[in-house]
Structure 1
């Protein structure tokens, strides 16, 4: 028991040492964080991030290829033609709020836009018109798009390959049944229990959100405000005591941290078998690269 407590204290010290340093380097607000795109359980790399405009989310048409949607663009007429795997066509004109599906007019809340040499279309309208489902997760600013036949495989979480399991874990939209304390989201840091992928807590620059994965769903079970530990929500009690609170039970053997940087890189940190702090750094090409390969025992 003493060894467990010592290990936990060491891990928590690692968290508390690194967390304030990163949060102090967060000059940008949550609204400036780019929106990430996940299609059928996979994060997508785009040359232009999805953007939020007037509470509507727009994605570049090039990203639609990852959804199995073919597209063409006529620069003269400013019309993009989209076709799904069932052969259904959708025509959208930049600047127009009327689209056409099988020559039938459809009203759009907002028109497609052109920005930075890229054409962006309202993702919810396009997805639902062509048979996809859209879920926007505000906690991390991620839009999830799933086809009708997509179903998450829970075996992805329990597999022996921890790298793939943890990447699958963060590819699930976080759901919650309590009122969030707020949204910061200027960076993301995940802390997984050693050797596991079925739970993590997410640090976003101010809040800590505890998540567990059950039956193919990532469920937020509680949250606290790191600037005022008396402010909590869900199953986190005010002024939580780390070494005794049940919510920390999965982390009794220690935890592994995966941290997003602001320079296109990510860092992993853990204690090796001798208790020595180890830090790794990697380039992020796609959001899931935050989770890096580690030794098997981690």
Structure 2
């Protein structure tokens, strides 16, 4: 009995410690790092010096990213002021921490203040871009911020290029348009991992997967249209191939020939060999999002 009385408190203490450890570990495990937002300007994926992020429902980008729009940028440390100028010499002045900006000296109200994040001045992408005549669209499915100038026209020649990798890159460089409402689980923030799947020697259609939902996309008349969305796995209440939007096309058996995947921090391409239907795959690295599309090796 005396031994039991001595052991019981120690066991209880051990159980409390284990519960405390589990409680402390749970938030860290649940709080997976957010998937970075990709920027595409006039049909080209660009590399940013600081990843855009969403704050209070507004996407913020580094002002240096705007240089890809043909805008110049200067920073005054004393006044904590960023000045952005376009080729027509219109100026846009933003003061760190303030939501009031100045276009050509006239005060204008931004929907979110400019801020300093790790030494980078981040500004509301939509407000600044639209102030200079650019259009902004955020595609939640893949987490891509598309910024286009008024005179931009998608390169249909690239989409029909005999260079398969170039044609596929042109295809994924188009924002996906939906005639149905995509499910929230299809959004990029639900999973850091994603895969593009193509039919053999084809750039006119692809399947985009985020490990939860698959979206089938067709390229028609220079635009990307989602035609079907279905549950892949991991969504409570849905089985594999459950239709979530659109209609299933008849060519799905063809859509697993070439894979380009980001998983667990690395990239891997897989190609189906014509001889026996098996796959050859290899890892690779990218400098920007567009390089996920790899040429088929000889």
TM-score after normalising by structure 1:
0.82
The answer to whether the aligner puts 1:168 opposite 2:170 as a matched pair is yes
Match of 1:58 among 53, 57, 60: 60
CA distance in 1, matches of 2:273, 2:157: 27
> Equivalents in 1 of 2:183, 2:54: separation in Å?
22
* 8 A contact 1:268–1:281 mirrored in 2: yes
Shift of 1:270: 1.2
* Deviation for aligned residue 1:284: 1.4
Structure 2, unpaired ranges of 5+: 1-28, 234-238
Higher relative contact order (CA 8 A, sep 6+): 1
Q: 1:217 to 1:261 in 2, by over 3 A?
A: same
Correspondence for 2:133: 131
8 Å CA contact 1:236, 1:247 repeated in 2: no
CA distance in 2, matches of 1:48, 1:205: 26
Conserved 8 A contact 1:140-1:185: no
Counterpart secondary structure, 2:94: strand
Shift of 1:229: 2.9
SS, match of residue 125 in structure 1 = helix
SS where residue 156 of structure 1 aligns?
helix
Residue 66 of structure 1 aligns to a residue whose secondary structure is: helix
Q: Distance in 2 between matches of 1:283 and 1:295?
A: 15
Tell me what 1:187 maps to: 193
C-alpha change, 1:280 and 1:216, in structure 2 (3 Å) is same
Q: Structure 1: how far apart are the matches of 2:30 and 2:217?
A: 25
Q: Is the 8 A contact 1:132 1:146 kept in 2?
A: yes
CA distance change for structure 1 residues 28 and 272 in 2, over 3 Å: closer, same or farther?
farther
Distance in 1 (CA, whole Å) between partners of 2:223 and 2:97 is: 38
The yes-or-no answer on 1:219 pairing with 2:221 is: no
Q: Does 1:234 align with 2:236?
A: no
State the Cα deviation string for residues 164-222 of structure 1 (Å, max 9, x = none).
11111111111101122223342220001110101000110110110001111111111
Q: Is the 8 A contact 1:181 1:232 kept in 2?
A: no
Correspondence 1:1-298 to 2 at 5 A:
32-182=34-184, 183=187, 184-227=190-233, 228-229=239-240, 231-236=242-247, 246-248=250-252, 251=254, 255-263=257-265, 265-275=266-276, 276-295=278-297
Please, which runs of 5 or more residues in structure 1 have no aligned partner?
Answer: 1-26, 238-244
CA RMSD, 1 decimal: 1.9
Residue 138 of structure 2: SS of its match in structure 1? strand
Distance 1:219 1:30 in 2: 30
Equivalent residue pairs, number:
260
Q: CA deviation at 1:30?
A: 8.5
**Contact 2:180–2:246 (CA under 8 A) maintained in structure 1:** no
Q: Which runs of 4+ in 1 moved over 6 A?
A: 27-31
- Report the secondary structure of 1:194's partner residue: coil
Deviates more, 1:211-220 or 1:178-187: 178-187
